[in-house]
Every structure is written in structure tokens, then in C-alpha cells.
Chains A and B, each alone.
Chain A
Amino acid sequence: MKHIARRLAFYVAAAWAAITINFFVPRAMPGNAVDAMMAQFPHLEPGALKALEAEFGVGSDGSLLHQYGSYLVNILHGNLGTDLTQFPTPVSSIIASTLPWTLILVGSATVISFLLGTLLGIFAAWRRGSRFDNLMPGFIFLQATPYFFLALLLVDLFAAHLHYFPEQRGYDIGLVPGWHLNFIESALYHSLLPALTIVITSVGGWMLGMRNMMITTLGEDYVLSAVAKGLAPRRIMLAYGARNAILPSFAAFSTSLGLVVSGALIMEVVFAYPGVGLLLYNAVTSNDYPMVQALFLIISLAVLGANLIAEVVYVLVDPRTRTAEAA
């Protein structure tokens, strides 16, 4: 009980930190963000201007504390401000239409990469010193390659030259997004290369981590006792080795989610994929501050949510954490 309460308190604190950073960054930055936006968007309506000034604390709209209070209230109501490029569309509705793209692509690619890397790591550790294990340096090189660099090379090779995959975007230009077969087919087709990029660049890291964990675990006494018991090698590898080794690997997975997601966001820019990453990039290059702010908040909360889920799963797979709670 106490453990769960502590963890929940932590997530509330982390979410609060993200929200607060989001509030203070525009205020702490030198220069006047509203002026910059004015320069970028000269045809803003007076109403929009007023709203912006309130949002960024430029006008004399009461004390900082008061601003902070109304900001929190706005956030709690899901009001993230108004977009400038598509004025007066609320930022939240634009994000809502792009978020699923990222969630599905980045989410599933990351999970696939983790599972694949874990599996490869198990085999590499089990057959230590085998030819497969010796492929490690290759994976290390891929892991060290920047996402976008590899993405561009893959696009050039498979899309521009070989035409196996479409070069850009999330679906064919002529299609109207919706739940019909044509569109889904096109979306899947467009997501293959980006997903492949994510998997190729991140699988090495998971593999390496799992390999090391697995090797450490295989040195434990309970693996030796399983061997002494005469269990089938496969059973020892999975139920005794991998089952225990995956726990710390899984914990590492949740802590590095933020990093992985960040890389994937840049990848979206390369593929002009209609997700949050591209939105963020476009907002940054066009000084669309309300959008930048809102996106940071959404990304942070999404990562926090993924962490929370990972933690719940962890409690389910490790009996020791359960007892710690009961005690």
C-alpha cells in the first residue's frame, strides 16, 4: 500500500514538475515571445493577441502566482491554448489528431525493438562466444548511429532508389484519413520504413543490456541448481535465466523510454510523418509557441504514462515487489 502510494505521489510530482517547467520556461527566457510571434504572424486578431499575452505573462494580468493559478486551472480543463498557424483552432484538437500517429508508430516500434532485442540478447548470452554473439560490434555500431542519419540513408536506398517504400508522409496524398481499408493499408505501408529505422537503431541497446543481464543471471546459483536438476536446456534458459534477467532489463526499459521517444521524434521529421515530432519541429521553426508548449507537456505526460504502465507490469512480473508492498 505504502509503496503504491509513494509511486503515485512520485508520478504526481513528476507531472507537476513538467507542468511547472512548461509555465516558467517562456517567462524565464529573455526577449518577448509575443513580439516574436507578432513578427511571425502579423495578422493576428486583437483577441488572439490578448490571449497570447495572458498565456505568456507579458501583459499586466496580475501577479505571477495568479497567472500560475489560472494556468493550472486551464491545464486541468484540457485547455492548452490556441494555435497560431491555424488560428483559432485550439492546440489540443490539433494534437489530438496527430498523437495517435506517433503513439502507434513509436509505441509499437519501441515495443517490438525491446522484445526483439531481449530475445537476441538471451540467445547471445546463452551461446556465449558463438558466431552470433560475436556479431555484437555490428549492433554496437548501429546503436551508435544517429536515428535520422540512418533514416535518411534508408530512405535514399529503399525509397528513392529502389522504390520499395514511399519516401515520406504517413499515407498517400490523395486519401482521406478514416477507417477504410485503402487508408489503413496505405498507413501501414508508410509506417514500415520509419518503424524499421527505429528498430534497427534501438535494438542493439536492448540486446546489449539483456545480454549482460542474462550473463550475470546465468552465473547465479539457481541456474546451477537448475542444471543439477537435469532440466531441459530450453527450460533453464527461459524459466530460470531469462525470466530473472528480464526484470532489471525491463526496469531499464522504463527509465530510458524518454530517450528512445526523443530519437523517434526526430525520425518523424525525416519521414515527414504526421506525428507529434513533426508538429513540434514545425512549431519550433515557425515560432508557434503555444503549440511548442503544449507539445512538450503532452510528450512529457505520455512518457510518464508509459513509465507508470511499465512499473505496473513490473510489479506483476516480480513477486518480490508484491511482498514489499504487503509488508
Chain B
Amino acid sequence: MSDEDATGTDAGEQSFALEAVALCKNFRLSRGLHRNVLAAVRNVSLRLLPGIVVALVGESGSGKSTVARMLAGQEQPTGGAIMLAGRPVELGKARNYLAYKRDVQMIFQDPFASLNPAHTVGYHLARPLRLYQHGRRGAPLHDGVVSLLERVRLLPAENFLAKYPHELSGGQRQRVAIARALAVGPRILLADEPVSMLDVSIRLEILRLLDSLRHDLQLGMLYITHDIASARYFADEILVMYAGEVIERGPAEIVTQSPVHPYTQLLVASAPDPAAFARRRSPVVAEHRATSPGLGTAGCNFANRCPLATDSCLEEHPVLRSIGTYHSTACWHAERSAAAFSATVEATGITGVGHHSEATREVRPHA
């Protein structure tokens, strides 16, 4: 294992935690007669502790959702282990699965798809209550549903009971989905892009709701997102994934303010930012072209897009190594890269790098 240092703050005490230990997931792709294996997730380790939010950041196809699905028990890992409160999780039997789900729940990206259009809000919330708290019917069940709705601030709760999902706005639906996840009284919440389908004005409200839940209920949370800026505000620790691997991890503020891996730097530089209007451009570290990750190469997956890539990057696969307190990255040129970034930021003073126009391009005669 490559990352004992990252979250190993409390190695001694046995607190409740959901851990992923070197998780791997291979998907088999059949192309004609050849069978290829796609390593969607490779050696991902992380630990979710009560009251702590860990963000998993990456572009689509980076494997971040696969990690969540494995942790939720929807997908079987092809390697590594999942540990709950120090014990390895075996989900084979139905009873084990139910017991696991009592502790670990998931929220989905699309609130339009995650609620059954044929059922009311009341039904969605009453089902888990009845399944997990046997014999709960009538008035106690009703009270339970109402208090869940109040918890996610759908008020007045009575008004929402008989509503169908299509009668709710996106934000309200996502609140119902959160309430459903809370119904079983979980200790870990896996949130797969919980706000990316919502309007900007609603996103923050939902994130604040999740934030207050983790404080009030001491939930451990995995926050999966492609929006690194929201991870800065919402998460304690950030793990950046690229091509199935964690390539940088560390405290949220450090990863976003002094990113070390060239890919993290690219991600940070690419994020649109209202504060960046004055400079018209965020500091672009280097000219990157989005190409598909160089899968199957012996070396670094990012090498074919990396401005700092050298021969060694193409030959040897970098693993996570510590570069500071709780901060680690998988890059052979971490020091050089960090220096380059701070130099750019210094030089531009957050006024950005002017954009380069290639003069050779043909310009149309404008009337």
C-alpha cells in the first residue's frame, strides 16, 4: 500500500471508518475476437471517517464513480478490499448486504432518474423505514417520514408526502433522495456528483445541507465531483483521479492552492472562476490538448499530455509518494512541477497568462 501517511492520522485509535484498500476494478471489453481488459480503477485507497468529507475529483471516465459503486456494494472489486470498522466486507449473502447498507448509503447524480416516477415521495421514504425498522407502521411510520422531510428542509413536510417526483423541482428531488439515504440511519454517505445536474443557485443549498448533515449526524462522506472548486469548499481531503488512479491527494486547501501534479494543475487552471474575470484567463500552466489517457503504457498515464514529461515518465510508472504533510502525488517531477506552478502564479500575479494567437491562421476579411 502506498499511502499509509495520507489519512493515517488516527492509526492508533479504532474509530468507525469505511476503508478502501488498494481497490481495483477491471472491465472486460470484447472487441471482435480479442478480449481487452480496461483497468477502470487501480490501487485506490481511501478512508472515510465520521464527520469528514473526502472528495474524489476527476474528469468523466477517470474511474471516480466506479470507486463509489464498489464502495456502495453495487460493483464487485476485482482486487483489493473494503473494510468497515476494521473488518473486511463480504457482501455475498443478502443479510450481509442489508447490514452493510444500514451503514453505507449512496446519493445519485441525477435526481430525475433516481426517484421512481410511479411512486410518491411518501412511498420513497416509507420503504426504507419499514425495511430497516421492522413493524414500523401507522403513526410512527408517518412521523418518521415527516421528520426525514424536515431534516432535509422540505417544509411543510405534510405537503410533500403525496407528491410525485415529476411535481418537484430538481433541488427538491435531490432533497428527497438525500432523505431516503438518511432513512436507514447510515454512518457513511457516498455522494456521486450530487449537485452537478442542478442549477447553480440550488447547488450551494444542497451542499450546505450535506455539510450540516455531516456535522449534525457525524456522517463520513465521499463527495465525488468534477468541480474541484466545490471540493475546495466542501471537502476536508481531496483525491484527484486520472485514468483510474489517484495521482494526488492531500488536504483540500493544499491541493487546490498548491497543486503539484501537472494534471491537478491543469484541472485547477481550467476551472472557470468568477473571480478570474479581471485577468480574463486563469493561469494556464502549459498548452494541453485533451487527448485520451495513454492507457496500457508502461509509464505515467498522463505522460502524453504532460508538458514536463521526460523519457523516464514514459518508461516507469509513478506511484504515490509523500511530498509534504498528508500531501502525496504520483509524479516523477513533483518538485519541478510545483516550482513551475508557483512561478506562473507569481509571474502573473493571478493576472493570468495572456492568450496566444497563432498569427499564421487565416483571418477572414471582415466587412
Q: Do A and B touch directly, given a CB cutoff of 8 Å in the complex?
A: yes
Instruction: Report A's interface with B, CB cutoff 8 A.
Output: 1-2, 327
| Interchain residue pairs with CB less than 8 A apart (6) | A1-B32, A1-B33, A2-B30, A2-B32, A2-B33, A327-B31
Complex interface: chain A residues within 8 A of B31 (CB): 327
Complex interface: chain A residues within 8 A of B32 (CB): 1-2
State how many angstroms separate the Cβ of B211 from the closest Cβ of chain A.
38
What mask results when residues 24 to 48 of chain B are scored 1 for a CB within 8 Å of chain A, else 0? 0000001111000000000000000
Bound Cα distance A2, B29 (Å): 13
Complex interface: chain A residues within 8 A of B30 (CB): 2
State how many angstroms separate the Cβ of A327 from the closest Cβ of chain B.
6
Residues B1-57 near A (CB distance < 8 A): 30-33
Closest-by-CB residue of B relative to A327 is: B31
Closest-by-CB residue of B relative to A2 is: B32
Bound Cα distance A2, B34 (Å): 11
Bound Cα distance A327, B31 (Å): 6
Bound Cα distance A1, B31 (Å): 9
State how many angstroms separate the Cβ of B29 from the closest Cβ of chain A.
9
Bound Cα distance A268, B36 (Å): 55
Bound Cα distance A1, B32 (Å): 6
State how many angstroms separate the Cβ of A41 from the closest Cβ of chain B.
55
Q: Which 5 A-B pairs have the closest CB atoms?
A: A1-B32, A2-B32, A327-B31, A2-B30, A1-B33
Bound Cα distance A2, B32 (Å): 5
Complex interface: chain B residues within 8 A of A2 (CB): 30, 32-33
Closest-by-CB residue of A relative to B29 is: A327
Bound Cα distance A2, B33 (Å): 7
Bound Cα distance A327, B29 (Å): 10
Complex interface: chain B residues within 8 A of A327 (CB): 31
State how many angstroms separate the Cβ of B152 from the closest Cβ of chain A.
35
State how many angstroms separate the Cβ of B32 from the closest Cβ of chain A.
5
Closest-by-CB residue of B relative to A3 is: B32
Complex interface: chain B residues within 8 A of A1 (CB): 32-33
Bound Cα distance A288, B239 (Å): 78
State how many angstroms separate the Cβ of A321 from the closest Cβ of chain B.
15
Bound Cα distance A2, B31 (Å): 8
Closest-by-CB residue of A relative to B32 is: A1
Bound Cα distance A81, B37 (Å): 53
| Chain A CB within 10 A, most for which of B31, B32, B33 | B32
State how many angstroms separate the Cβ of B179 from the closest Cβ of chain A.
35
Bound Cα distance A56, B137 (Å): 65
Closest-by-CB residue of A relative to B31 is: A327
Bound Cα distance A327, B32 (Å): 7
Bound Cα distance A326, B32 (Å): 8
Bound Cα distance A292, B73 (Å): 57
Complex interface: chain A residues within 8 A of B33 (CB): 1-2
Bound Cα distance A176, B57 (Å): 82
Bound Cα distance A295, B57 (Å): 65
Bound Cα distance A18, B30 (Å): 32
Bound Cα distance A327, B30 (Å): 9
What mask results when residues 215 to 259 of chain B are scored 1 for a CB within 8 Å of chain A, else 0? 000000000000000000000000000000000000000000000
Bound Cα distance A270, B58 (Å): 70
Bound Cα distance A73, B31 (Å): 37
State how many angstroms separate the Cβ of A302 from the closest Cβ of chain B.
32
Bound Cα distance A327, B36 (Å): 12
Closest-by-CB residue of B relative to A325 is: B32
